[in-house]
Amino acid sequence: MKHYSRYHSTKKTARNTSRKPHNTLWTAVLIYLSHHYHAIRSTLAMFSTQPLSTLLTALMLGISLSLPGSLILLTDNLNRVINQWGNSAQISLFFKTTTPIQSVREIATQIRQQPGVAAVRQQSADESLAEFNQLSGFSQAMDLLKENPLPAVIIVTPHLSQAEQLITSMRQQFSHHPQIQMVQADSDWVQRLHALLAIGTQLSIVLSILLSLAVLLITGNVIRIHIESRRQEIEVAFFIGAAPSFVQRPFLYAGFFYGLLAGLTTWGIMSYTLWQMKTPISAFANLYGQTFSLSWSTAQQGQLIFSGIALGWLGSWLAMHIYLYRLQTKQTVGTQL
Amino acid sequence: MVVFHQTSKYYPCGHEALKAIDLHIPKGEMAFLSGHSGAGKSTLLRLIALIERPSQGQLIINGKNTAKISPRYIPWVRRKIGLVFQDHRLIDRMRVFDNVALPLVIAGFSNAAIKRRVHAALDKVNLLDSEKRHPIDLSSGEQQRVGIARAIVNRPPLLLADEPTGNLDPDLSSEIMTLFDQLHQIGSTILIASHDMALISKMNKRVIRLENGRVTNS
């Protein structure tokens, strides 16, 4: 907005002689838009002189982005799968046989209210016996016993993401509970899975940062080369009254377009990879009796292309600002901006 | 229009380009700046164009002390000054039309106004039929005329020319000078740096002589 007011407050000749506007704000908007129009034309001229190198740069940026992009997609999908399978992580509370069913119910209600609990199932001693008979085939042997040796059980299913905390807190709460014989949780595999997933997530974060930095540097360097090739032109523009914003705009657009091309290239690479992997992955999932396919939401695709654009723009912004700073401080050229 | 008051310019290396200059160029005047190379002609022009700032003393343009102009507003001051360079400084990748149009694009003129004004400026320098050519296809004299067209297209009240005939033969030189004289007739204030004494004396205008950074006669 700064530009609008500066333009129409100082550039009276343009307003009076060439536009005959209805109001000054409209003139400012027109001037602003015309500057963008000329900047885009200038950028396209920049690209059209070296179409091959533009495409190669975009391809290089696209490949750089597709590695962290794929890794993020993979960990994201793994997270989804693990949450699907998460129901298999369970905590069992075995009660003392003397515990009345009323106390079991009370404790079950109490557990339901705890955070991180996905489901609670209670099973009386009789139900435990019925289940044991059904599953073990020792029903006749059990009949010989005078009393039911099996306890009542509460089976707690945690939300996977909070499984570890829940297991720890349940152990603390109930290990020494007078009515509870034993707290059992097979949390090892959950922990291992989480550790693996954490490594994957961490790796994708580190790679994302590194390769984003690479994209930033590549765009910055490409823009620097563009600036070098137009150095004389930039100087002339400053001499005939261009503001820094006018001079930098074509280069910022160049960064924007490089980023857009990079985003689209990455999108293409990843779409192709997903399409290629579709059959082997569903075949693999079928072996485990699961139906599963890699998914890539529209929001994620949008995010990817947006990150490309943001990185490209930022790279060119950095290159331009370093250049302008050097130009201002270089006394030999003496260019006052 | 332009007033120098005890203005000096030193460079970090210790070179003293201008030494306590007092000079007044009134509005509507056409004056020549003469002297050997290194006498300070270019420095003086660069100071007026705000490409450099005085080390000491004052420089007042259009009643405004340049020391008080913030760097942010320099572009808007420069749009009121037309600059002609010895090496024309045209942009090779752009056609003649676009080169001349650049100051108008920067100032944000509409396309129709740009077309009208560029044609008028090219007509003035007799190059209307070359608008679609590139600077590289033009002769040295034609390039200089394109440079002049670019300097006058925004109708600046002040025109500065640094050795505009430096690379030209005498015929072309006097042609360019006639052009400046015509612009002067319309009311522009013009300051031309040149070491071509023969040409300057023909024009019969005020001559400001610079020697070792001092004004010797004015």
What value of ipTM does the predicted structure carry? 0.89
Q: Which of chain A's residues have a Cβ under 8 Å away from the Cβ of B111?
A: 34
CB spacing of A10 vs B76 below 8 angstroms: yes
Question: Which whole number is the average pLDDT over B22-36?
Answer: 91
Question: Which whole number is the average pLDDT over A17-26?
Answer: 61
pLDDT recorded at residue A84:
64
Confidence check: pLDDT of A267 > 90: yes
- Kindly tell me the number of DSSP H helices and DSSP E strands found in chain B: 7, 10
The letter for the amino acid at A67 is L
Nearest residue of B to residue A37, measured between CA atoms? B105
Per-residue pLDDT tens over the stretch A28-74: 888 888 899 999 999 998 899 889 999 999 999 999 999 999 888 88
| Angle at which helices B140-152 and B111-124 cross, to 10° | 130
Q: Which of A14, A239, A336 sits opposite B107 (nearest CB)?
A: A14
Q: Are A154 and A120 in contact (CB under 8 A)?
A: yes
Q: Which of B78, B108, B112 sits opposite A239 (nearest CB)?
A: B78
**Residue, of A3 and B13, whose pLDDT is higher:** B13
Q: Under 8 Å CB-to-CB from B155, ≥6 apart: which residues? A: A13
Residue B58 has φ and ψ, to the nearest 5°, of: -120, 150
Per-residue pLDDT tens over the stretch A200-209: 889 889 999 9
First-to-last alpha carbon distance for chain A, in angstroms, is 20
Q: Which of B52, B106, B112 sits opposite A241 (nearest CB)?
A: B106
pLDDT recorded at residue A223:
94
Confidence band, pLDDT 50/70/90 cuts, at residue A186: low
Confidence band, pLDDT 50/70/90 cuts, at residue B101: very high
**Residue, of A55 and A13, whose pLDDT is higher:** A55
Hey, which residues 307-336 in chain A have their CB within 8 Å of chain B? 331, 334-336
Per-residue pLDDT tens over the stretch A271-319: 999 898 888 888 877 776 667 777 888 999 999 999 999 999 999 999 9
How many residues appear in chain B? Answer: 218
Hey, which residues 233-262 in chain A have their CB within 8 Å of chain B? 233, 235-243, 246
> What does B40-72 look like in DSSP terms, one character per residue?
SHHHHHHHHTTSS--SEEEEEETTEEGGGS-GG
Shortest distance, CA B202 to any CA of chain A (angstroms):
30
How far is residue B91's CA from residue A315's CA, in Å, rounded to a whole number? 26
Q: Which of chain A's residues have a Cβ under 8 Å away from the Cβ of B46?
A: 334
Share of chain A above pLDDT 70, in %: 86
For residue A293, what are its two tokens? 């396919």
Q: Under 8 Å CB-to-CB from A92, ≥6 apart: which residues? A: A153, A154, A155, A156, A183, A184, A185
Q: Return the exposure string of A211-239: e unless at least 16 CB atoms fall within 10 Å of the residue's CB, then b.
A: bbebbbebbbebbbebbeebeebbbbbbb
Chain A interface mutation, best of B81, B106, B110, B152, highest count of A Cβ atoms under 10 Å: B106
CB spacing of A45 vs B102 below 8 angstroms: no
Question: Which whole number is the average pLDDT over B77-97?
Answer: 90
Helix (H) or strand (E) holding A98, with range, is none
Share of chain A above pLDDT 90, in %: 31
Q: Which of B178, B182, B121 is nearest to B146 (CA)?
A: B121
- pTM to 2 decimals? 0.74
Nearest residue of A to residue B116, measured between CA atoms? A18
Q: Are A252 and A313 in contact (CB under 8 A)?
A: yes
> What does A24-78 look like in DSSP terms, one character per residue?
HHHHHHHHHHHHHHHHHHHHHHHHHHSHHHHHHHHHHHHHHHHHHHHHHHHHHHH
> For chain B, how long is the longest CA-to-CA vector?
50
Nearest residue of B to residue A4, measured between CA atoms? B108
Q: What is the rounded average pLDDT for all residues in chain B?
A: 89
A-B CB pairs within 8 A amount to: 92
Per-residue pLDDT tens over the stretch A91-105: 888 888 888 888 888
Q: Which of A10, A35, A334 sits opposite B52 (nearest CB)?
A: A334
Confidence band, pLDDT 50/70/90 cuts, at residue A190: low
How far is residue A300's CA from residue A303's CA, in Å, rounded to a whole number? 5
Confidence band, pLDDT 50/70/90 cuts, at residue A332: very low
Confidence band, pLDDT 50/70/90 cuts, at residue B218: low
Q: Which of chain B's residues have a Cβ under 8 Å away from the Cβ of A334?
A: 46, 51-52
Confidence check: pLDDT of A16 > 60: no
Hey, which residues does B2 pair with through a beta bridge? B25, B61
Question: Which whole number is the average pLDDT over A182-211?
Answer: 82
Q: Are B31 and B208 in contact (CB under 8 A)?
A: yes
